[in-house]
Amino acid sequence: MSTRYPAQALKQFASDIFVNAGLARERADVMAETFLQADLMGFTTHGLNRVASNLSWLRNGASRISGEPHLLADRGNIFNWDAEFLPGPWVISRAIDEALSRVEEHGVVTATVRRSQHIACLAAYLPKIIEKNCVAILTCSTPAEHTVSPQGSKTPLFSANPIAFCAPATDYPLLFDISMSVTAGGYVARAAREGKKLSQPYLKDSDGHLSDDPAAFAQGGSILPVGGADHGYKGAALSAMFEILSMGLSGYGRADEVDEDDEANSVFLQVIDPRAFGAENAFLRQTAALLQLWESCESDGNEPVRVPGKRAWGLRQSQLAEGVQLYPSIVEDLHKLADETGIAMPEPIA
């Protein structure tokens, strides 16, 4: 049986590490909570896996230790912030809180944030929105990153450009977090670290040949867009759309000098209050019906039909109650951080 760790102890550990680097406790707690939420729902490449990189950015000045986002525009139902390299999980959590505080009045609140340090797992921000019975769309892009090639090209152009969505229903929400690359860069990096091939040829090497070898990506290759080798034009079109929403509307993107900005993100956020459109129960009746119909679809194999959100929400509930199962390499990295900082790693659940 895999080792489990108490959820709140993991949060405290991560928070203590960030405080040790000079971050205020309130901000460190928000950072740690964001990473924990990702692992609770099974998004293991962008949860506590990201503590080490965020610690490095705080130490070397790539992330600002203190300060506030700079307000660029505000019309009540929209706002645009320049984060000026504040820690991504903290500044995006704050933007969501601001949007939620306005959505009852405006019905729909749209926000953009530019020059945010890497915001990690998009799904990790959704629980607080679901708890308010709101709908949300969240997408981000990385102006300095070129990892995903358009269909018909061997040149990496786009970043992974993930999108997350949530809508409340009954037993669990509709919830997903998917990249516009056919596999996430985190999975490519994990396969490379473990000396494994990918399950499918999700990559192109530098000559444009399909490959399942992570080394092909590291040696100047690219990741295929959603749709793969045959229908990648769909993923490329969506990538462009998300870059316009995040980079275009925020005013920070491909047109700028961004080579030194590493993983800094442009972000698009929209929060929708269904009660602005009609009775809340009418909305929940429709979302619940959709998920129930989806679940009842006949499987074409031995596995049940996968409904986005069901597994993640159930896993979150069980891991909060029973402890968090961390991916082995994450445990290894957290132990290294414990040794380095002198902050004790949480004791596993017996």
Q: Identify the pLDDT of residue 3.
A: 86
pLDDT class of 350 with cuts at 50, 70, 90: low
Tell me the average pLDDT across 180-184: 92
CB 48 within 8 A of CB 17: no
Q: Identify the pLDDT of residue 286.
A: 97
Token pair recorded at residue 81: 């912030």
Whole-Å CA distances, 14 to 17, 24, 62, 131: 5, 13, 19, 24
Enumerate the H helices of 152-227 as residue ranges. Answer: 185-194, 214-218
Least confident among 62-66, 96-100, 298-302: 298-302
Per-residue exposure over 193-218, b if at least 16 CB sit within 10 Å of its own CB, e if not: eeeeebeebbbbbeeeeebebbebbe
**In terms of Cα–Cα distance, which of 37, 17, 36, 18 is closest to 27?**
18
pLDDT class of 185 with cuts at 50, 70, 90: confident
* Strand duo 78-82 + 108-116: pairing: parallel
Percent of the chain predicted with pLDDT > 90: 95
Using one digit for the tens of pLDDT, what is the confidence trace for 81-121? 999 999 999 999 999 999 999 999 999 999 999 999 999 99
Using one digit for the tens of pLDDT, what is the confidence trace for 39-62? 999 999 999 999 999 999 999 999
Q: Identify the pLDDT of residue 186.
A: 84
Token pair recorded at residue 42: 């099974």
Token pair recorded at residue 99: 């949007």
**DSSP-assigned beta bridge partners for residue 136:** 166, 271
DSSP class of residue 31 equals: H
3-state secondary structure of 262: coil
Using one digit for the tens of pLDDT, what is the confidence trace for 247-258? 999 999 999 999
Show the domains of the chain with their CATH numbers.
1-66+321-350 (1.10.1530.10), 67-181+226-274+284-297 (3.30.1370.60), 183-223 (3.30.60.50)
Using one digit for the tens of pLDDT, what is the confidence trace for 131-169? 999 999 999 999 999 999 999 999 999 999 999 999 999
Distance CA 67, CA 64 (A): 7
Q: Identify the pLDDT of residue 1.
A: 44
Average pLDDT, the chain: 96
